[in-house]
Amino acid sequence: MTVVALSFVALPLLRDHRRIVLVAVATALPLVAAGLYMKLGSPTAGGVDATAVRKGRVSEDESRAATSDKIGSVASMVDGLAQRLELNPEDGGSWLLLARSYKHLNRIEDAASTYEKAVELGQFDADLAALGGDKTSESVIGAQIFGNVRLSSAAKEKVRPSDTVFIFARAVDGPPMPVAVLQRPATDLPIDFLLNDSQSITAGMELSNFEQVIVTARVTRKGDAMTALQGLEATSGTIRVADNHHLDLIIK
């Protein structure tokens, strides 16, 4: 209902070129709200009746007021998510959602700084990376590898919500110990990931110290990182770290 209501509210504003920024925000709000509803729950519905707007029984001023109320509601949910992250700062997915929300609310500086925290936890978003520019890229020291991990249809039948996904890189000409490791719950799948030097588990064994690595995504049970659940893993093969290309890993 939020999507429908905001669509109708935005239409009268299109006639006034001075309100183009407000229209852009109103159009993006359903996307932001959908993610926030999943994290925080749906707020009490409010605003102008969509049918009345469509039939022209509501004035343009009232429509603008309704849009403003919706923006305020989403902004309130964004603040709520920020407060939750103070209690759970290791939730990379929520940091990414918060950064996207700030971007849609045109809080650009907040979006860039929040995205830095998401990157440190292995999250990646091309639009936010471009938005952050040099400031965001400086938060990742050294090399980085990014990509996506998803399950095949057959694998989905075997994976439980309580399972864990490990995404890690091993040096081709180096020790067996991974040089970068990311751990995520299976409920996050499909996962957009980023591996970088901050995820090294051994001092002096960072990703940027090696030219070639192999990236593996592995589903495990009970946190056992050494053994894949029923062979559920995907491997990239040998890649050059400097190539910086996107990896698509499908766990079958």
Tens of pLDDT, residues 27-79: 455 555 555 555 555 444 444 444 444 445 445 555 454 445 445 566 778 88
Q: pLDDT at position 50, please?
A: 44
How far does the chain reach from its first CA to its final CA, in angstroms?
Answer: 37
Residue pair 217/167 in contact by the 8 Å Cβ criterion: yes
pLDDT band at residue 147 under the 50/70/90 scheme: very high
**Locate tokens 């669509």: which residue?**
7
Mean pLDDT lowest for which of 3-12, 22-31, 156-165, 184-193? 3-12
State how far the Cα of 35 lies from the Cα of 98, in Å rounded to an integer. 9
Question: Looking at per-residue confidence, does 251 or 72 come out higher?
Answer: 251
Q: pLDDT at position 134, please?
A: 44
Q: Which residues contact 16 (CB under 8 A, 6 or more apart)?
A: 60
Q: pLDDT at position 30, please?
A: 53
Altogether, the residues listed in the chain come to a count of 252
Q: What are phi and psi of 2, to 5 degrees?
A: -60, -40
Q: pLDDT at position 129, please?
A: 77
| Structure tokens given for 243 | 């190539």
In whole angstroms, what separates CA 164 from the centre of its chain?
18
Question: Looking at per-residue confidence, does 159 or 47 come out higher?
Answer: 159
**Locate tokens 């110990």: which residue?**
177
| Structure tokens given for 25 | 């925000």
Average of per-residue pLDDT values in the chain: 75
Mean pLDDT of 158-179: 93
Question: Looking at per-residue confidence, does 178 or 108 come out higher?
Answer: 178
Q: Could you tell me which of 36, 111, 118, 39 has the C-alpha nearest to residue 71? A: 36
CA angle 160, 162, 165 (to 5 degrees): 85
Question: Looking at per-residue confidence, does 236 or 205 come out higher?
Answer: 236
State how far the Cα of 122 lies from the Cα of 138, in Å rounded to an integer. 15
Strand-pairing partners, residue 213, are: 171, 239
| Extended beta strands in the chain, E state | 144-151, 164-171, 180-185, 191-196, 212-220, 233-240, 247-251
In whole angstroms, what separates CA 181 from the centre of its chain?
18
Does residue 26 register a pLDDT over 50?
Answer: no
pTM of the model: 0.53
